[in-house]
Amino acid sequence: MKISVIGTGYLGATHAACLAELGHDVLGLDTDPLKVAALAEGELPFFEPGLAELLHRHVASGRLRFTTSYEEVGAWAEVHFLGVGTPQRQGEGSADTTFVEDAVRSLAETITRDALIVGKSTVPVGTAQRLGEILARHQDPSLKIGLAWNPEFLREGFAVQDTLRPDRIVVGVDDAANASTLRAVYSAADELGVPFIITDFETAELVKMAANAFLATKISFINAFSEITEAVGGDIQTLAAGLGLDERIGPKFLRAGLGFGGGCLPKDIRALQARASELGHERSMRFLAEVEGINLRRRERAVFLAASMLGELQGKKVAALGAAFKPDSDDVRDSPALDVAVRLFDAGADVSVYDPKANANASQRFPRLAYADSLSDAVADADLILLLTEWDEFRSLSPDTLAVLTPARKIVDARNVLIADQWTAAGWDFAALGRRHTPVPDYAPVSA
């Protein structure tokens, strides 16, 4: 099928390359000419495992092309996916839907053949209905242009596999024929037996918001308990294991730590609260304010641990390992890791940040921090090390290998990926979120 993808950021570029992989002819469109130029050369402007290879292969084969021209996609494609951003409005919790509105208006004004527009962006409930009205106002009335909502559930870091083999496909339609078109687009997933849920616009929009609200809640749930285990001396990881083995609960998203961030969960739970308020149901989603409060307190706790281990932060050298909001991504939007690094800097610490992939994005956002090109550079003269994003490079650290690289013998594991006993046995002052911190009594600084 001839398919366009409007907005080629994290979601759109992934979707476009995966549709080409599934055998479709794909034309990606973005209003950012630099992004389009890079993609057209087969260069991925961000990091996502496996995606660069896919992009390269299908740009080379000619099955995947990029443009900035709405006229071109409007005349060519039979299906148009919308993957433009829905960021948080400045100074408010609500989602800014002007990008999806602009994209639909641009499509309506340039489509010259029967077509289907399919929203994938995460939007407040009621948006698809409104976009349908915009479409009707601006389209050529002689054409049949349908609208469907097909929310995206991919996880950054696993985006390619999640797109090629999703665990479900949800489709909101007001016309059964549009669901059939989408079934044809996703025939490969259909053959794999991926559940295909057909519903109305509102339910489709809400499923995505509900999924993100649930995931955020599960993370904050275990992190709330980690505040209690810190206070009483319990073990949050054993608690999580004991909880997750209950098959009604499950083990995923129960790792206590620095909490959630990124371009989706934080903005989506705020948008959901804002929308519930508009609908007169503010109380239904009020618990999400607490979910966010717990999430932000983890960052404060990480800073508190660093300060208490160092006595004071002013002038102390701190290595921040990780800037991305999660491993296997270079996305630093609302990143807990970067937020902790900035808080330490603002408290007077001399912070050196190292992330295997996200240094460039992080330094663009916070140029005042210092960035190291390698783990060894970051820790070379550190007084304290904080593990803030659980990249494999950091998970595999051992006290002995790290001791060769740094004079520091103090470490905060904000992601609960290191084995505490190994570090304390090797003489390190070790703290982790969710564990009571017992300072090493005979700690003495090691000269480099």
**Residues within window 150-169 making contact with ligand NAD, judged by CB under 6 A:** 152, 154, 156
Can residue 103 be called a binding residue for ligand NAD (CB under 6 A)?
Answer: yes
One of 264, 318, 405, 432 is an active-site residue; which one?
Answer: 264
| Contact (Cβ atoms closer than 8 angstroms) between residue 160 and residue 51 | yes
Comparing CB distances to ligand NAD, the nearer of 107 and 116 is 107
Q: Quote the CA–CA distance of 187 and 180 in Å, as a whole number.
A: 10
Q: Which of 26, 29, 216, 362 binds ligand NAD (CB under 6 A)?
A: 29
Can residue 38 be called a binding residue for ligand NAD (CB under 6 A)?
Answer: no
**Residues within window 261-280 making contact with ligand NAD, judged by CB under 6 A:** 263-264
Which residue type occupies 280? G
Q: Quote the CA–CA distance of 267 and 410 in Å, as a whole number.
A: 34
Q: Which of 1, 2, 22, 32 binds ligand NAD (CB under 6 A)?
A: 32
- Which residue has the CB atom at the shortest distance from ligand NAD? 9
Can residue 27 be called a binding residue for ligand NAD (CB under 6 A)?
Answer: no
Can residue 84 be called a binding residue for ligand NAD (CB under 6 A)?
Answer: yes
Q: Which runs of consecutive H residues, i.e. helices, occur in 280-391?
A: 287-310, 336-346, 359-365, 375-379
| Residue 158, Cβ density class (10 Å: 0-12 exposed, 13-18 middle, ≥19 buried) | middle
Give least dist CB 120 to ligand NAD, A.
6
Q: Which of 26, 27, 35, 124 binds ligand NAD (CB under 6 A)?
A: 35
Which pair of structure tokens corresponds to residue 279?
């609908």
Question: DSSP label at 89?
Answer: P
Q: Which of 121, 127, 220, 229 binds ligand NAD (CB under 6 A)?
A: 121
State the number of CA atoms in the 13 A half-sphere of 338 facing the CB.
28
Q: Which of 3, 12, 270, 318 binds ligand NAD (CB under 6 A)?
A: 12
Give least dist CB 212 to ligand NAD, A.
8
Give least dist CB 195 to ligand NAD, A.
18
Which pair of structure tokens corresponds to residue 45?
């402007």
Q: How many helices (H) and strands (E) does the chain have?
A: 19, 14
Give least dist CB 106 to ligand NAD, A.
6
3 state DSSP class of 4? strand
Which pair of structure tokens corresponds to residue 25?
């002819």
State the number of CA atoms in the 13 A half-sphere of 140 facing the CB.
13
Residues 6+ apart with CB under 8 A from 136: none
Can residue 386 be called a binding residue for ligand NAD (CB under 6 A)?
Answer: no
Q: Is 264 a residue of the active site?
A: yes
Q: Which runs of consecutive H residues, i.e. helices, occur in 65-97?
A: 70-76
Comparing CB distances to ligand NAD, the nearer of 98 and 376 is 98
Q: Which of 47, 66, 76, 99 binds ligand NAD (CB under 6 A)?
A: 99
Active site residues: 264
Chain positions contacting ligand NAD, by CB under 6 A? 6-12, 29-32, 35, 83-86, 99, 102-103, 121-122, 152, 154, 156, 263-264
